[in-house]
Homo-oligomer: A and B are copies of this chain.
Amino acid sequence: MLVSDYYRSAFSTRYGSNDMRVIWSESYKRSCWRELWLAHLAAQTQQGLAPQWAYDRVFNYLSALSDGSKAQAHLDAVVNLENTTRHDVVAELDVLRETTRVPYLHAGMTSSDVTDNIDVYRSMESMKLLMSRVKALSSGLHDAKKDMQGIWVDGYTHLQKARPVSLGGRFACYAQEVFIAEIQMTTAMSTMRGKGVKGPVGNYGSMLELGWTLEQAKAIEARVMSSLRLSCWPIASQTYPRIQDYTLLTSLATMAAALHKMAFDFRLMQSPGFGRILEEDFGPGQVGSSAMPEKRNPIMAENICSLCRYISVLPQVAWENAANQGLERTLDDSANRRIILPEAFLAMDEILIKAQVLIYGMSVHAC
């Protein structure tokens, strides 16, 4: 509902696509956790460390959750437990254990074996969605560049008239900046890895205590990570190295810098002062302002700039998290990661959607 009685983030309603909102929903996160536990059980079975019936029972239970009433019952039990334990992973796990009576679940694992891998998994899903939008935007910019190659306008340095430039040349600059940022995003994706399944403090110690060999523990880890289509860090403390979040967010902030510059230029080029050579697409019935309804304000470009600025500060939070992690882990990253990860993706999602609409819908009025 658009108009709620309690605070709802603009990212739940206004900014970002539903596809992105699903990835960062509580519901999807928990279903990913459960799938990870199932994959872990499958891996134990394969190593002869858990019986087939254990896997079957959990598999059947999870399959049954596609039935709405069973899903609701599961959820009720979890919420009930979580109110006491104040620990979401433990609540999900305990309900799963109690209802299936399978003891092998989560064997040797610690919470962050679940949460960290799924956070990376969802980050990767998000990056893939964003990259598809980057490709579309890039293609739009290249088309625009070609179409406008022959259109010459006044160039401006220091916002003062300089030599003439072709509008196509400007769009070539935007396309190139997007390309530079795309490289950062691609590099971030290619170096992204999960924690793996290494147990508390990250050294497989808890698995060895269960009587598993190190080879078995690593084989199980490999199997679980492969089910997530993720690599894992060869080494981890209790968590994956938190500078990965910084790398990820700076790659988005790089794109945000490129698109803020482009959108700022669009705002200038829509201004009568710079010849009003561009015009955003206005929907029929769309209103400029309450006082001057016929005004053609560059609100899409302004919105892009605004969200880019929000993204620009989020890497600093990730930096502080990474820099201040003490020894095997501290939890001073947890609360803010619930916000900065999804919102960086949702903001960039909205920016890329708007940038694409802008590029494809704008009119050019240079003569």
CA distance A6 to B16 in the complex (A): 11
CA distance A256 to B24 in the complex (A): 27
Q: Which of B244, B273, B329 has a CB less than 8 Å from the CB of A273? A: B273
- Taking CB as reference atom, which chain B residue is nearest A14? B338
Q: Which of A244, A303, A310 has the most CB of B within 10 A?
A: A310
Q: Which of B79, B90, B172, B292 has a CB less than 8 Å from the CB of A290? A: B90
Could you name 11 residue pairs across A and B whose Cβ atoms are closer than 8 Å? A106-B290, A155-B328, A159-B273, A163-B206, A181-B243, A257-B319, A257-B323, A306-B336, A310-B335, A313-B316, A313-B317
Question: A24 — which chain B residues lie within 8 A by C-beta?
Answer: 7
CA distance A164 to B247 in the complex (A): 30
Measured as residues with beta carbon below 8 angstroms from the partner, the interface class of chain A is 35 or more
CA distance A22 to B329 in the complex (A): 36
A285 at the interface (CB under 8 A from B): yes
CA distance A308 to B336 in the complex (A): 9
A231 at the interface (CB under 8 A from B): no
Contact with B along A276-315 (1 / 0, CB 8 A): 0000000111110111110111110011011111101111
Are A268 and B326 in touch, CB under 8 angstroms?
Answer: yes
A109 at the interface (CB under 8 A from B): yes
Q: Which of B20, B111, B307, B337 has a CB less than 8 Å from the CB of A7? A: B20
CA distance A162 to B288 in the complex (A): 11
A48 at the interface (CB under 8 A from B): no
Are B2 and A12 in touch, CB under 8 angstroms?
Answer: no
Contact with B along A242-272 (1 / 0, CB 8 A): 1110110010011011101100110110111
Are A86 and B287 in touch, CB under 8 angstroms?
Answer: yes
A325 at the interface (CB under 8 A from B): yes
In the complex, how many angstroms separate the beta carbon of A184 from the nearest chain B beta carbon? 6
CA distance A285 to B91 in the complex (A): 11
Question: A172 — which chain B residues lie within 8 A by C-beta?
Answer: 235
User: A264 with B306: in contact, given A10-B335, A234-B176, A243-B177 (CB under 8 Å)?
Assistant: no
Q: Which of B159, B162, B319 has a CB less than 8 Å from the CB of A270? A: B159
Binds B, one of A197-205, A219-227, A355-363: A197-205
A364 at the interface (CB under 8 A from B): no
Binds B, one of A25-33, A39-47, A56-64, A132-140: A25-33
Question: A237 — which chain B residues lie within 8 A by C-beta?
Answer: 170, 173
CA distance A111 to B287 in the complex (A): 12
In the complex, how many angstroms separate the beta carbon of A93 from the nearest chain B beta carbon? 7
In the complex, how many angstroms separate the beta carbon of A289 from the nearest chain B beta carbon? 6
A87 at the interface (CB under 8 A from B): yes
Question: A310 — which chain B residues lie within 8 A by C-beta?
Answer: 317, 335-336, 339-340
Q: Which of A155, A234, A328 has the most CB of B within 10 A?
A: A328
In the complex, how many angstroms separate the beta carbon of A148 from the nearest chain B beta carbon? 13
User: A267 with B159: in contact, given A302-B331, A324-B324 (CB under 8 Å)?
Assistant: yes
CA distance A180 to B188 in the complex (A): 10
A104 at the interface (CB under 8 A from B): no
